[in-house]
Amino acid sequence: MERRDGPDGRELYVDRERRERGSKGPFFVVYSDPERDARWGYFCGNCETFNNAMDAMGRIQCNECSNVRKPDEWDAAHE
């Protein structure tokens, strides 16, 4: 795992082996500890930022480069 300084200055750990497919590049799973006990969020592989958001449907969107991971399940009622 790759150690990086997070947005608040604390150490975060990017797992380059666990990824989710995005429209511009992968989203890597991020942990707050090297033992992978506490999942923190995602790291955008396209622009290399932690500034991402996830909605209740599982869609991930990078707030910097608009890289998007589509939701696992899609329902037209949510649009």
The whole-number mean pLDDT for each consecutive block of 10 residues of the chain, a chain of 79 residues, reads: 93 96 97 96 97 92 96 60
The pairing of strands 11-20 and 27-31 is: antiparallel
What pLDDT sits at residue 75? 57
Q: What are phi and psi of 12, to 5 degrees?
A: -125, 160
The domains of the chain are located at: 2-71
Task: Report residue 1 CA to chain centroid gap.
Answer: 15
Quote the pTM value. 0.86
Read off the DSSP letter of residue 26.
Answer: -
